[in-house]
Amino acid sequence: MSPHHLPKETALRYPWKQPWNPGFSGLSDPTNPIVYDEKTENQQNVTKQTPHGSDVHQIERRYKHFPGNNVFFLGGRFQMSTQFKAFALTLFALLFPGVLFFVFSAFWLWHHVSPAIPITFSYIYALVLVSMLKCSTSDPGILPRNSNILIYDPTHPWSVIPEDKRILVGSTRSDSAFLITTVYCHTCRLYRPPRASHCHLCDNCVEYLDHHCTWLNNCIGRRNYRYYFIFLLSLFFEALYLTVLGFYIAFASFRYGSDVNFARHLQRPWAGVSFFLGIYAALGSIFPGILLGYQCYLIGCGQNVHEFLRSKNTETEDFRPYHNSVWINFLTVLCRPKNVSYVRPRRKEMLKKLHSSAFSSVS
């Protein structure tokens, strides 16, 4: 039986069997299930022009009218912030030593030590690049903005100014519950969930916002924090591994070579480049190592960067309300399931615009 000929009782009981209606207001709700197949939809943009004084209904992808400062690529599949210069510098700092290693150093290790060493380095290096790109282009957990603008009306008895509230949240610790403050965001026009914050660079409220990383050109939130931690961990071990390999190639080739002067030995391409890579990787391992240790400390304490800085600047009753044991904190942060994007930039929605400018010349 076609969905258009379903009985009324069946349609009310099974709403997913109803035919898709572009005028249905629930389409813009991010939690509303998809009631039509987007992949087989041939028409991307459907525009209906009506006479003067009426409205125009245009169906487009959400990312084309996203209110934040994010930039979308490939039809909304990838998104980033606007700090592209810092991201390009980070990408160059990662690609530059990798290219030098595979051109000058990998062949010496392959023929003189073991092929397993450059293969192992290739795996760690690929893990660094993939986790970096995944963290930079993923939705960090942006919360959709409220489409209803709250306007205070002093003459209305039920009209109030939105303000912060204290709510009771359950706990897995010995105490049953604790009070936290939920902040009302006047930009996104919503009450932020616990552990959510507003990013002033992306202009979005992000769930479990750790910080905004300029070097990765994205916010670090609940949906991409795992990739960020894997990136720091793999980058730190890759830098240490490259430091050891670079110095080993420089000194081992000098020991088994015929050169009597080490400075003259470094004039050979594989020796000089490997020695440079050892110094480059040793200096480059300091910054990700500090960040990795800082993130491990915060995870063990049950905090993120925003909560840690806020607890240092303000006097709170319990500055670590989400702290359990160290192992449970790591399992909660790194092993929790990845939820579906709230904004869903590729979802289609109906845009309603007043069709008056097109007929202004006629009037």
With helix as H, strand as E and coil as C, how does 47-87 read?
EECCCCCCEEEEEEEHHHHCCCCCEEECCCCEEECCCHHHH
| pLDDT for res 214 | 92
177, containing H or E segment: strand 177-182
How far, in Å, are 145, 248, 293, 308 from residue 313 at the CA level? 28, 47, 22, 9
Q: Is the pLDDT of residue 53 over 50?
A: no
Instruction: Report strand pairing: 211-213 vs 204-206.
Output: unpaired
Beta bridge partners of 170: 177
Tell me the average pLDDT across 152-164: 65
The segment with the largest mean pLDDT, out of 45-59, 186-200, 269-283, is 269-283
Q: Are 150 and 189 in contact (CB under 8 A)?
A: yes
Of 99, 66, 100, the residue nearest 82 (C-alpha): 66
pLDDT of 228: 95
User: Does 245 have pLDDT greater than 90?
Assistant: yes
Identify the active-site residue in 213, 219, 296, 335: 213
Instruction: Annotate 197-247 with DSSP letters as a single string.
Output: EEETTTTEEETT--EEETTTTEEE-TTTHHHHHHHHHHHHHHHHHHHHHHH
185 is catalytic: no
In tens, the pLDDT along 298-308 reads: 999 888 888 88
Count other Cβ atoms within 10 Å, centred on residue 16: 8
Domain spans, the chain: 67-149+160-354
Residue type, 102: F
Helix, strand, coil percentages in the chain from 3-state DSSP, rounded to 5: 45, 15, 45
Q: Beta-carbon neighbour count of residue 38 at 10 Å?
A: 10
pLDDT for 248: 92
- Asked if 138 and 130 count as a contact pair (C-beta separation under 8 A), the reply is no
pLDDT computed for residue 277 by the predictor:
94
More reliable by pLDDT, 155 or 248? 248
Mean pLDDT of all residues in 213-239: 94
Specify the range with the lowest mean pLDDT, choosing from 107-121, 136-150, 239-253, 258-272.
Answer: 258-272
